[in-house]
Structure 1
Amino acid sequence: MGSGLFAQDSLVTVTAKRGDGILSLLRDQGVNPYDLYDDFIAMNIQDLRDSVHLYEGRTYRIPPLKEEEVELTTQADKQSTEIKKITSEEFAIFGKDHEDVILKSEKLKDAVYYLVSGHGGPDPGAMAVYAGKSIAEDEYAYDITLRLAKELLAHSATVYIIIQDKNDGIRDERILKIDHDEVAYGDKTIPLNQVKRLRQRVDIVNELHRKNRGKYQRLIVTHVDSRSKGQNIDVFFYHHEKSKNGKQLAQSIHNTFQKKYKKYQPNRTYSGTFEDRTSLYLVKKTHPAMTFIEIGNIRNKKDQRRILDPENRQALAKWISEGVLLDFEKGEIGPIR
């Protein structure tokens, strides 16, 4: 790693090799890739495919570290440790490589979020085959949910991850190994029966909602859809038909996606929608204002690239979190739900 990486008035440039992604490129420079992810995209947008993919052989600029990050790497060990204690916290559920959460702001310090990734345990959800290997909805929904949780924690939110796999953490592989050891919040075994599984999640969320009564609370459910192989879909959002706050949350995230597509993919129209879908069990039965997100079609080749690429999963989580921040800034509308 060149010393220029720490200079504010000079930039390191790196040529992408075959197989490089933004995360691996930044990691190879000895920096936390998630701290500089957005700056890297903004700085190199003209040389990125679909706003997140590198071109082999092209040269990319590495953003300079922020002043507080420079201080962490250059001060005496004792002082550096003291600063780190103030600015970061470890969460083992994200895995060893991702457990450090750097505090970015206190914007969400009064907000509570319940995050539910679809399926899990005995139910892998939608299935497909990629490169001769089976892939399952629950693994990818969970990875995106963990990345979203980390983004929200970085803004001081209280976050409950309702479906958990303590062995997986955030993973940067394309093909995520399928297992069945997920549990529900409180180390509860996930039932085999579908209705019981859904009811368990509803009961957990509603009980936590009751305990946090009076606080700003939101629920985000993440799924990956399964349709015909030829059907390419955008990310879309559902909410309860009678929930003004749920509609605002869904619309805030939807608007964020529209702006991101317009900025990063100006030649591509974003066709994702937000609409009421009260027939869905979790939408109908849970008490917090909520949005139900479908990430894409796991059987479609184009959507698979969105789901399998860890760079894309990080971008999805980041965009959702920005929509969440926008929703919080708008505040509640009328009744709590």
Structure 2
Amino acid sequence: MKNRFSGQLLSLSYKFSLTLIFFFLSLASIAQDYPTTVAKDGEGIYSLLKRHDLSPSEHLNAFIELNKNKLGKNNSLYVGQSYRLPNKAQTTQPVSSGGAIYPIFGKTYEQVKPIDNALQGAIYYLVSGHGGPDPGAVGRYGNHTLCEDEYAYDVTLRLARRLIEHGALVYMITRDENDGIRDASFLKPDKDETCYPKLTIPHNQLKRLRQRKDAVNKLYMKHRGSFQRLVITHVDSRSKGQDIDVFFYHDKRSKTGKKLAGNLQQTFKRKYDTHQPNRGYHGTVSSRNLYVLKYSYPPAVFIELGNINHYRDQQRFIKSNNRQALANWLAEGLLLDFKNNK
């Protein structure tokens, strides 16, 4: 069954809209009774849901909403406490082979199957740069125009899909409901991107940044106490003669953000040492006074993926395999960060 909701991407293999869920819950609280269960010793929400044949990634938020006044710190359960269980009919159902459909990824990539639960409990907010009325940096490749917002978004979509495969809960803050993951070399620019949940992106830069910051911070407060990270992706614009490696920035006040950036940088260095040992890797980690880094609640990293005006860097973007490699390496860095902070 396909989801038609436009809300966040959820962990493991499911996507549903918080707004629609809350609507269903409001109706259900009037119209029906919910089954209940008693928490066992050592049991958390995930194991409790699995015990009742309910997918954690599909029913987690519904369970929390139903029992929000009975949960401990970090949504822990109390032994012997009775809890209400979500109704399966109220949320999306799995497709065959343990996957689920995410229309935001497009027809080719919409079915996502879990690989493992390595990122279970982790929450990521993904913001690709610019979008809507602002294409960001613009480069030329022959007769083709390369727009930053399209390539940053495609890499970010691929990253989101990868994180979900590893069990993370992922929110796409910058969204385009009809582009999906694209394998073409030259991505057609458009201006229909929105900001989560479905807000029109303003042209004014400060208003745009504030809109994204507000979306992230509101979600952060909902998940307060959980492991949360913000990942911002951009493409740089420099002279045609300057190629650059992938660079990572953090807010100077955030030790956790600095560690996050360092884990990503270490991953890229290791990857280049393995796959291109004679090339060398010069991407750095440094602090930067950027609005969203400064004012967002979760630890954050700002990533420059390359120079859209340099021929060699352009290969990093126009080849879909390279965009996927960027996403895979970023996901590996985030796996390392999660492991190092558990």
Q: Select which of 293, 310, 329 maps to 1:300.
A: 310
Q: Select which of 218, 222, 225 maps to 1:214.
A: 225
Offset at residue 131 of structure 1 (A): 2.0
Cα distance in 2, alignment partners of residues 83 and 317 from structure 1? 25
What do you get for the CA RMSD once the two structures are aligned?
1.3
Q: Secondary structure at the match of 1:252?
A: helix
Offset at residue 130 of structure 1 (A): 1.1
1:318 counterpart residue number: 328
Q: Secondary structure at the match of 2:235?
A: strand
Structure-2 change in CA distance of 1:83 and 1:240 (3 Å): closer
2:35 counterpart residue number: none
Cα distance in 2, alignment partners of residues 130 and 214 from structure 1? 46
1:252-307: per-residue Cα shift (whole Å, max 9, x none)? Answer: 11000000000000111100001111x11111111100110000000011100111
Cα distance in 2, alignment partners of residues 282 and 124 from structure 1? 18
2:204 counterpart residue number: 193
Structure-2 change in CA distance of 1:154 and 1:132 (3 Å): same
- For structure 1, the residue ranges without an aligned partner over 5 or more in a row are 1-81, 333-337
Q: Which runs of 4+ in 1 moved over 3 A?
A: 82-86
Q: Secondary structure at the match of 1:245?
A: helix
Residue type of the partner of 1:262?
Answer: D
Q: Select which of 285, 300, 306 maps to 1:290.
A: 300
Cα distance in 2, alignment partners of residues 287 and 321 from structure 1? 21
TM-score (norm 2): 0.72
Q: Secondary structure at the match of 2:162?
A: helix
1:97 aligns with 2:122: no
Cα distance in 1, alignment partners of residues 164 and 283 from structure 2? 27
Q: Secondary structure at the match of 1:294?
A: strand
Q: Report if the CA contact (8 A) 2:248-2:302 is conserved.
A: yes
Cα distance in 1, alignment partners of residues 260 and 97 from structure 2? 31
Structure-2 change in CA distance of 1:203 and 1:132 (3 Å): same
TM-score (norm 1): 0.73
Offset at residue 244 of structure 1 (A): 1.5
Q: Select which of 142, 145, 160 maps to 1:149.
A: 160
Q: Secondary structure at the match of 2:126?
A: strand
Q: Report if the CA contact (8 A) 2:95-2:101 is conserved.
A: no
Q: Secondary structure at the match of 1:180?
A: coil
1:132-182: per-residue Cα shift (whole Å, max 9, x none)? Answer: 121100000000000000000001100000011111000000100000000
Q: Select which of 324, 337, 340 maps to 1:327.
A: 337
1:184-240: per-residue Cα shift (whole Å, max 9, x none)? Answer: 101100011111001100110011111110100000000000011111000010011
Cα distance in 2, alignment partners of residues 329 and 87 from structure 1? 25
Counting aligned pairs with the same residue, the percent is 54
Q: Select which of 178, 189, 202 maps to 2:189.
A: 178
Q: Report if the CA contact (8 A) 2:231-2:302 is conserved.
A: yes
Structure-2 change in CA distance of 1:191 and 1:104 (3 Å): same
2:7 counterpart residue number: none
Offset at residue 87 of structure 1 (A): 2.5
Q: Select which of 153, 166, 169 maps to 2:177.
A: 166
- For structure 2, the residue ranges without an aligned partner over 5 or more in a row are 1-92
Structure-2 change in CA distance of 1:268 and 1:123 (3 Å): same
Cα distance in 1, alignment partners of residues 277 and 204 from structure 2? 45
| Number of corresponding residues | 250
Cα distance in 2, alignment partners of residues 184 and 238 from structure 1? 22
1:96-119: per-residue Cα shift (whole Å, max 9, x none)? Answer: 000111100111110100000000
Residue type of the partner of 2:245?
Answer: D
Offset at residue 85 of structure 1 (A): 3.6
Structure-2 change in CA distance of 1:284 and 1:83 (3 Å): closer
